[in-house]
Every structure is written in structure tokens, then in C-alpha cells.
């Protein structure tokens, strides 16, 4: 009894365009000669790979082809053996399909799907500013509570030591000392 299958081939793009077309046609004729009825052959084109590995021969891109066909399961064994030996095939996957084939629309080139969000409308309040801009306008340490006050130079408004302050107070008064006796 014929079942429905999908075959996805990932082909090495470095083998050349003529060999890629020949590989696509080769597996189409191999399926037909094995008794499969080809429903659809859809070349997806050159696509970027999600990852690279030694099995993918460190390729960044590959050529993808989807085959949709109906046939017996007996033909899959020689088909997969040939796919494993073919140097142009990096990976392959055969899936049994339940129900009808999904018609996948033709995929657009990758750069079409780049999302460009709409630009934000301009705010009538003007551009945003940094909260700390007023701190940056004065001398170093002017906006910080632990720094010197903004109006005085460093060292001008510092309190005098306690011992020096007492001596200055007694000599300044003049009436409580020995000079008055």
C-alpha cells in the first residue's frame, strides 16, 4: 500500500549549480524509477544553517529541496543508502505523512523577513536628558553632599582646630588679662 512521504535534502552549495540541479533531478528520477509518484518537488534555495558541525562540513549555508511523493516503504531503504553515500548531500530526512500534503508557499529570500519596527513618534517635550546633568556643570564634587560647597574654594570655609580657636579668642578680647591691672 502506498504511503505519503516527504523527503528534505540539504545539499552542499560548494559543489556548483550544475551539480545541484543534477542532484535534484537524480533523486527525482530515482524515486520515479522505484515506483513513487512525485507530487511536488520544491527547491527552497540557499538558506543559512542554524549551526555548523563536522557532519555539515563547517558550511554556513546549504541548498534545501523538499520532495513530496507517494510510494511503498520498500523503496526507502535503497534511497537512504544512496543519500548517505552522496557527497553532495549534507543531511536528509524522510517523514511519513498522515493525511494530505501541506502545500508550503514558496519561501522568500531571507532578507525579506528582517523586521523593522516602526519608529517611535517624536515626543513634543523634546529629547530626554540625563538626570545627573546638573551635577556635571560645576567643579568636581559640587553636586555631592560630601564634597566642598559650590561657592567657596577648597580650605576657605573649614573650621579651625579647637586649641587654636581658644588662644585666638583670649587674645582678641583684651579686657580679662593682666594688661588691665
pLDDT band at 91 (very low <50, low <70, confident <90, very high): very high
pLDDT band at 90 (very low <50, low <70, confident <90, very high): very high
**What pTM value is reported for the model?**
0.56
Per CATH, the number for 1-8+28-98 is 3.30.70.60
Mention every residue, 6+ apart, whose C-beta is less than 8 A from residue 47.
61, 62, 63, 64, 107, 110
Locate the domains of the chain by residue range: 1-8+28-98
What is the grid cell recorded at 104? 508550503
pLDDT tens string 6-48: 999 999 988 888 888 999 999 999 999 999 999 999 998 888 8
pLDDT tens string 112-147: 444 555 666 666 666 666 666 666 566 665 555 665
φ, ψ of residue 51 to 5 degrees: the values are: -155, 165
Q: Rounded mean pLDDT of 61-87?
A: 92
Which residues does residue 91 pair with via DSSP β-bridges, in sequence order? 10
Q: How far apart are CA 24 and CA 18, in angstroms?
A: 10
Listed in order, strand segments (DSSP E) in 28-143 are 37-48, 61-71, 89-97
φ, ψ of residue 61 to 5 degrees: the values are: -135, 160
Amino acid at each position: 500500500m502506498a504511503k505519503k512521504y516527504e523527503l528534505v535534502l540539504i545539499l552542499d552549495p560548494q559543489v556548483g549549480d550544475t551539480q545541484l540541479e543534477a542532484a535534484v533531478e537524480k533523486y527525482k528520477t530515482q524515486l520515479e524509477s522505484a515506483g513513487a509518484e512525485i507530487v511536488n518537488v520544491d527547491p527552497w534555495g540557499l538558506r543559512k544553517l542554524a549551526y555548523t558541525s563536522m557532519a555539515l562540513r563547517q558550511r554556513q549555508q546549504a541548498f534545501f529541496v523538499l520532495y513530496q511523493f507517494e510510494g511503498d516503504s520498500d523503496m526507502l531503504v535503497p534511497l537512504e543508502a544512496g543519500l548517505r553515500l552522496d557527497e553532495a548531500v549534507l543531511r536528509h530526512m524522510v517523514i511519513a505523512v498522515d493525511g494530505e500534503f501541506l502545500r508550503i508557499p514558496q519561501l522568500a529570500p531571507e532578507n525579506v523577513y528582517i523586521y523593522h519596527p516602526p519608529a517611535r513618534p517624536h515626543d513634543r517635550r523634546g529629547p530626554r536628558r540625563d538626570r545627573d546633568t546638573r551635577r556635571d556643570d560645576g567643579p568636581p564634587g559640587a553636586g555631592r553632599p560630601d564634597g566642598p560647597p559650590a561657592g567657596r574654594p577648597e580650605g576657605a570655609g573649614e573650621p579651625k582646630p579647637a586649641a587654636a580657636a581658644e588662644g585666638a579668642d583670649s587674645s582678641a578680647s583684651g579686657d580679662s588679662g593682666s594688661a588691665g591691672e
